[in-house]
Copies of this chain bind each other. A is one copy, B any other.
Amino acid sequence: VELVSAGIVGASGMLGGELLRVLSVHPVLRSECIVAGARAGESIVAVHPHLRDVLHGSFERHDASAIAERCRVAFVALPAEEAATTVPALLDAGVEVVFDLSPAYRLKDAELHDRWYPDARRDPDLAAAAVYGLPELNRKAIAEARLVAMPGCSATAALLALGVLTKLDVPLDAVVIDAKSGSSGSGGALRTSALHSLRGGGVAPYAMTSHRHVPEIRQACGEFGLHPAGAEVRLGMSVFSVDLVRGLSAAVYVLSDGAPRSEDVRRGLHRRYRAEPFIRVQPAQGTTTPLPDPKAVIGSNFCDIGGGVDADGGRIVVVAALDNVAKGGATQAVQACNAWLGIAETTGLLSTPIWP
């Protein structure tokens, strides 16, 4: 196997640390440039204690040309404002492909982008060319892209849950998504609400009536046919911060007059995801088998999905659970990179989750 060198830009953050973790056991990809901004020069293990004796040395200073010289691919795990300009710089310098874990290049609609990410002044042509990096929906486009805009963690979970709708012939009325998110999703930013003393023991409404991942979900629903084209579907999401470090659970409630049976939902999920190595469909509710809980996927690229029907409530209920820094972030970017490289998507990603 020929090794492929990768640059990790924004390596001192939590997604950066997870990229370094998964690449440390990847048989093809190699962390060649490990780049941090303000923390350049600091010891890697001082920031990422899990990497002691796994990686050595210090974070490099950012230098797009140096990265392009030494790396074919780059992963960008920066805030949207910084990613907006770093991504084109890397491509201009000659990096073959960039996997952008920030939201800088996710939204096609410029107005929506500016509304949600006003500080991310991005390259409009690049925004038009970027492909959405959810492999289960878009692997062909990913394989030929120069810029892959990786999905947000709650968008990944919600879209994979909504995938069942392509296998159910039901009229859509409205979609309500309720996501419960772990604290690692907000990275290492110092905010009062991120303090252990203030978050521990709570269930904090983080985004009640809107969330920046909603336009991304709507856009992907349209692009990938998750609901009838042209339909006016009401879709909203609320996100809660729970006392959890890793993990995200998204409950997708589909209001529908033509509610199918629970069995149809499960069969639809099986048909939709039969061939997907990272989607684990849960069996029937009511057995001793636990339904999707992010606890069962921690440290892995799996997304567990289960669903059923609440006939009295007129709802289809689908729950998707994933590890927000893994399938919801870093390992999914490696999955997309595997697709781009033309190697098996599972390469380097088949670790078994931690339990309990």
Task: State the A residues within 8 Å of B (CB).
Answer: 14, 17-18, 21, 24-25, 42-43, 45-46, 48-54, 173-174, 176, 178, 180, 182-184, 186-188, 190-205, 208-210, 214, 234-238, 240, 242-247, 249, 251, 253, 255, 262, 277, 280, 282, 285, 287-300, 302, 304, 306-310, 312-315, 317, 319, 321, 350-356
Question: Cβ of A205: which chain B residues have Cβ within 8 Å of it?
Answer: 249, 251, 291-293, 306, 319
A-B CB contact pairs (8 Å), 21 listed:
A24-B352, A45-B289, A50-B296, A174-B255, A174-B313, A176-B315, A183-B197, A188-B192, A195-B195, A198-B295, A200-B200, A201-B247, A202-B244, A205-B292, A208-B306, A234-B255, A235-B313, A236-B313, A236-B315, A255-B255, A299-B354
Question: Cβ of A356: which chain B residues have Cβ within 8 Å of it?
Answer: 14, 17, 184, 197-198, 200-201, 245-246
Knowing A202-B294, A209-B315, say if A190 contacts B195 (CB, 8 Å).
yes
The reply to whether B203 and A249 form a contact with Cβ atoms under 8 Å apart is yes
Knowing A195-B195, A209-B285, A354-B299, say if A251 contacts B245 (CB, 8 Å).
no
Give the distance in Å from the alpha carbon of A294 to the alpha carbon of B205 in the complex.
10
A297 and chain B: residue at smallest CB distance: B50
Min CB distance A59 to B, Å, is 13
Min CB distance A299 to B, Å, is 5
Question: Cβ of A48: which chain B residues have Cβ within 8 Å of it?
Answer: 355
Beyond contacts A25-B351, A196-B243, A203-B294: 8 other A-B pairs, Cβ-Cβ < 8 A, are A21-B354, A174-B315, A184-B197, A195-B196, A208-B251, A209-B309, A236-B315, A243-B244
Min CB distance A248 to B, Å, is 8
Question: Cβ of A350: which chain B residues have Cβ within 8 Å of it?
Answer: 25
Give the distance in Å from the alpha carbon of A245 to the alpha carbon of B188 in the complex.
19
